[in-house]
Structure formats: structure tokens, C-alpha cells
Structure 1
């Protein structure tokens, strides 16, 4: 082990900045530079996809996307395991001249490469997309299943394989239709390695919907001709991490710390519509909270387990350690005749009140 003296003697040796290098590497990746429409963008937001198609320069290339880069590194390891241990053909470049994508893994029917000890080759073609997720995002998949955009993505990979969209590949025939019978989504948790898998037969109707969505974007005259399909910064994690966030939501022109969504209200009719949406949602929310509170009380004595289509589990209920008592602290300080330390109060948050105006007559 080096001594303190030897460490001190080398303290000025520069240490390479891991994350600066990682971000440079990530931006140089082919997928970060492509300008054709990618399957991973289809089904998310038409305006974001249109920015990509029209070659708009990103305004929001963040330097703090550590989780995403960690996911990329983990993703590469997962594909290596699927390739070396289970015979998958990985990272297949697919295109029809308009859509360009990279399928994570493909197994051809009865391919000897896919045999594992004690198993036989399967007579079905399978294409798989691998996604790494945070624990919270993975919990959403467990509760709600894959999103429409994720099913669009893996179906488009299958479609491009089935229609001869494979480019040069060392083990598979390029430009020839390849059979795909099953599409699969594999989710892997970045923190603890949990794995959730969803698979289904290839569905031509899903592909048709995805292609229609893509055609709508490809036919656009400019990005601003496409609607914003998501709720915007602060309300959508996809918007929060969008490379076109500032351009799309005019963030550089916002005044008085107002919410980006204010640009959606252009006249009194839009204000009225937003008030109606707020009032309707508040009424539904109030009724739902009451139903939820009653159901929670009813379940208070139920044991953890599976009940029909639902799984019940419990957490918490442990004794808490002692907590500071602010009121007692104030009494002690006042008894000592010392003024209470204060800090700036700032501003109170703005609250909104929306009520329905009684109808006349």
C-alpha cells in the first residue's frame, strides 16, 4: 500500500474526467448522429420525431445523463450474454430507406446457435429489444405493461426483418426476408438487476399503426406543424430529457418563472378549456380519493398474497427513531433570552381556485 508521502508526491497527476469522456463518446455513437427516423422515436411525440427528421440541431444536450450512459454500458453487457450464451444475432442494422433502426437481438427458427444445454432449437423467429430502467420506471412496467411506443418499436424491427431490411451482417443474409413470429421486450433494472419480460405474437395491425404514425411525421412540412404529444417539462420525464426541449417549449423566452405549458393558452377560449379540464379532473380526483381511502381501510387486515389478478404486499410499519421536537427547542431558546435564528421567507406558492359558475335561469 502506498504511504501518505508517496500519495502526496503524486497529488498533481491529472485524473481523467470519466463523465466528460463518457458524454463525448455517447454523442459520437452512430445512433446519436442518425437523421433517419428511428423506431425508438415512433409513438413517443410527433414533434420530437419531426425535429429529428428535419435535422434540427439539438438545444439541450445535457452533461448529467449519467444514468442513461450507465444504461448503455449495461445494455452492451446484456447483448454480449445473449449472443455468447444463447446464440442471439445482436445489433442488427435495419432500414427501408426511410426508417433506420438497430434491433438488439434476433433468433432465427431452428438456428443451432440458439441451443442451450438441455434445450432444443425453436421453430419460431424471435426479435427482442432490451431496455434498462430505474427501479421506479420498472415498477411502472410491472403495473401497466409496455407502452404503445415500445410495442411499436419492436414490431417495426420485426417488420424490417420480415421485409428484407437487414443490412450487411456476418451471419445472416442481408436484403432477404427473415421470419419473425414473436416480438419480445426485456426490461432490466439498473439498480438491482430485476428482469421483466413481455412477449407476444407478431401483430401486423400494430405494425400498420406504427407505420401510419411514422408517415404522419415524415409528411410534415416542418416540426412546428406536428403536435406536442406529451405534457411538457416538469410533467413528462421524456420532455425533461428531450434534446429539443428549449426549442419546442420556448424555454428561452419564458418570463416571470411561468410554467412552459402557458404557451398552450393563446386566447380566452383556451383558458376556458383549461378551466374545464381542471374542474373535471378535480371532481374525478376527489371521488377517486374517497374510493381509494375506503378500499385502503378495508384492506388493513388482509394478508400479503395474490388475489385474483392482484398482488398485495406490505412495507413499513417499523418503529421510528426519536425525532427533534421543534416546539421544545423554541421554548429552550426563548428561556435563554436568545433571539430565534431566522432565514429569508421567500414567497408563498401560488394556489389556484376553480369553481363552476351557476347557469343563468
Structure 2
């Protein structure tokens, strides 16, 4: 029997992966999770009020790859080092799953750890700027729930009883090349209090729309781009004429004035910064690559380019041959904004 390989059905990996991802407990969680605290109050409020997601994208390949890598990392830490992993924690209001708990032993302190997989670009931000506030909030809340008896069913640890946590750790792993960056600090009650106050603000909200949008919105924030409540939050279905979602923030004269002030202020700072940057760039023009104090200098480019087509010369040749020049629709030019400050009346 001869079979054409081209007729054999190949199951769609990503369709199955997205269906699998949506059935995970974390994806269906209704209580406020530590991973949402400190990120965006309106997004967290949608979760707390049980709003149904308006944006369940089927292109979250990187996130799902990160989930698969994450599971492998936790398995290695558990099997090779004896770590306790995937601990469900709750106080009845906040529900979270701590990645790793290292129980104290001998001189070793108790440590709660969160593992995050990142793209190379995102990992570079962590190296340069350190963990974000919401990431420190997250791991401190895990520590708080462990310290206050929030552990639920567990095969090896006592549940419902306080467990010692002296330090918190964030372990970042690069998805492309496996780079590892670790940040850790001693547990800080002040950070926990700030995180709990942030959570309380959301939990007391009457509705999601009562909470502010803490991020810049679609096209300006990757978190907003991938938010499951993006359409509801930014009223994207109601925006016409290809206007930016952020245009809903300037619905009246006050909103327009605030945006103009922000634009003018930023433009003035940007202009001054560009001048300083341009002078510094010219100052460095003859500097050799290397490390200078807290800075590393490197150079790229400067190579000769191959010849390129000359559009103007091509047009002249076609015109000389009395041939029609092929044209394509011009479309519309991009709109240019002009913002100037009105002099104060004397």
C-alpha cells in the first residue's frame, strides 16, 4: 500500500498548546495572585471581579515556551537539589503558587524563590536595571504567606503553620541561550506592607473601571499588548479612524491640556538630552574600546557598503527611453503634531 506523505495529517502543535495553557489552574484563577500585584491596578481589578478575558490570543508562543522551560527548571531544582516546588499559598484573599522553597538547614536560611524565563532583550533590562517593583512584591508576598501559615496541601511540609523565610530570591533564565541572572535580598516587612496596601486598593474597588491604568497601553507596553483584558480596558472596539487607543485619555479639554503639557515637558527634556548625547558621542569618536570605570565601550559598523541601486538615475533612464514610470498608490502621509507653549498673559 502506497501512501502519499503529503496526505498524512499533522496535529497543530500550537492550537493544542494554547488549549492546554487555558486549562491550567493559574489561567483560570479568580483570586488575586501575587504575580499581578504591583503591575497594573485595572488589570488586577478585572481578575478580582471575575471579568471574562476579551483577548485570548493564539500567538503566545514565547510565553508557552517559557512555561515549558519553567516546568523543567523546577523539576531539576527539586530532583537534583531537594527544593520544594509549586507550593500553593493562600490567605483566603490572595492565592499564589510559589515556585521554590528552600527549607532552612544548618547555617542555611529559609529562602523562597521565583523563577522567571526572559527573552535576551528582557534579560538585558534586568541586568541593567535590576528586578522591577512588582517582581519584588511577588516574591515578598510568597514569603509573607509562608511565614503566616498560608501553605495548603503539601506532601512534605506542614500546612497551615508558619514556615521560616529569611531571604527572597529571583532567578532569571534566558529562553534563547540559557543565561542565568540571580537577585536575592533579605526578607523586608516594608516591601510586604507596600504590596499588601496595593492589593487592598484593588480588592476594595467597586468595579475595574474605578482603577487607574498603571501602564502606557497597547503599542507602548508589551504587558498591555499581551493583556487578556486589553480590548475592554482601552475600549478598542469603539475606536475608529485608526486612532491610537490612548486617544480615549483625552476625551475633554482637560485631558487634551494634560497631554499637551506632558508632550511639551517631555520634548524639552528630550531636546536637551539629545544635545548632551550628541556632544558625548563626538567626544568619544577617537576612544578605544574597553572598560572605563562603570562603563564598557564597544564599536560596531564602519564597514564599506556594497553598491546600491540609484533610484534617481533609474528614473532618468526610463524617462530617456520614453517609458512610463511604474507607480504605486501613495496612501496618506503621517500626521505631524505641533505643540508650542502659549505665552502667559501679562
- In structure 2, the partner of 1:69 is 64
Matched, 1:125 2:110: yes
Match of 1:87 among 71, 82, 88: 82
- In structure 2, the partner of 1:324 is 309
Match of 1:203 among 171, 188, 193: 188
Q: Could you tell which deviates more after superposition, 100-109 or 76-85?
A: 76-85
Q: Secondary structure at the match of 2:169?
A: strand
Matched, 1:57 2:57: no
Q: Distance in 2 between matches of 1:164 and 1:321?
A: 68
- In structure 1, the partner of 2:144 is 159
- In structure 1, the partner of 2:246 is 261
Matched, 1:48 2:48: no
Structural mapping, 1:1-361, within 5 Å: 9-110=4-105, 122-361=107-346
Q: Distance in 2 between matches of 1:154 and 1:302?
A: 43
Question: How far does residue 70 in structure 1 lie from its aligned partner after superposition?
Answer: 0.7
CA RMSD of aligned residues (A): 1.6
Question: How far does residue 237 in structure 1 lie from its aligned partner after superposition?
Answer: 0.8
Question: How far does residue 175 in structure 1 lie from its aligned partner after superposition?
Answer: 1.4
Question: How far does residue 48 in structure 1 lie from its aligned partner after superposition?
Answer: 0.4
Could you list the runs of 5+ residues in structure 2 that have no partner in the other structure?
none
Question: How far does residue 333 in structure 1 lie from its aligned partner after superposition?
Answer: 3.0
Question: How far does residue 323 in structure 1 lie from its aligned partner after superposition?
Answer: 2.9
- In structure 2, the partner of 1:117 is none
Q: Secondary structure at the match of 1:30?
A: coil
Q: Secondary structure at the match of 1:183?
A: strand
Could you list the runs of 5+ residues in structure 1 that have no partner in the other structure?
111-120
Q: Could you tell which deviates more after superposition, 156-165 or 267-276?
A: 267-276
Q: Distance in 2 between matches of 1:324 and 1:105?
A: 58
**CA deviations over 1:228-270 (Å, ceiling 9, x no partner):** 1111111111111110011111100112111111111232122
TM-score for both structures, normalised by structure 2: 0.95
Question: How far does residue 122 in structure 1 lie from its aligned partner after superposition?
Answer: 4.5
Q: Distance in 2 between matches of 1:77 and 1:65?
A: 19
**CA deviations over 1:309-336 (Å, ceiling 9, x no partner):** 3333333334434333323333333333
TM-aligned CA distance change 1:311 to 1:125, over 3 Å: farther
Q: Secondary structure at the match of 2:220?
A: coil
Question: How far does residue 357 in structure 1 lie from its aligned partner after superposition?
Answer: 1.2
**CA deviations over 1:6-63 (Å, ceiling 9, x no partner):** 6x62321211000000000000000000100000000011000000000000000001
**CA deviations over 1:63-97 (Å, ceiling 9, x no partner):** 11111111111111111121122221111111111
TM-aligned CA distance change 1:355 to 1:165, over 3 Å: same
Q: Distance in 2 between matches of 1:80 and 1:317?
A: 47
Q: Secondary structure at the match of 1:294?
A: helix
